[in-house]
Amino acid sequence: MAKDIDNSAAQPTFDFEEVQQTRSKPPTADTQQTQPRRRSSGKPNVATTPKPSAERGALAPGPNGQSGLDRQLLVNIPQACRMLCLSRTTLYELMWRGELPPIHIGRSVRFAVVQLESFVTDRITHNS
């Protein structure tokens, strides 16, 4: 008296072969997902930023042949440490003793590259 219930309609069927076939196919332009675009940092891209032309008034070329417009005039403390091969503490000591005068722009501390170069040449002539 028990009725046979057809459960095949209630449960979905799953075809493993179909899943494996779709996984093995290479992605096409229709199925290929694109990566989301990254946000811009707001900083200009150095590679695409146009450089000023030399006709607008060039500064004197640097010692390594760079034109004055391409040459960096000011450097921050980590850059000055790398340029002079000094630790940050030693650079601060030179600054406090008045041997390397800093340039303050707002809260930023910078050093003129010309002053760093003259500091090195003065040390070379004093030690010779």
Q: Residue 31, Cα to own-chain centre: how many angstroms?
A: 34
pTM of model > 0.75 = no
Q: What is the pLDDT of residues 51-100, one digit of tens each?
A: 554 444 445 565 566 655 678 899 999 999 999 999 999 999 999 999 99
Q: Residue 81, Cα to own-chain centre: how many angstroms?
A: 19
65: left (phi over 0), alpha (psi -120 to 50) or beta: left
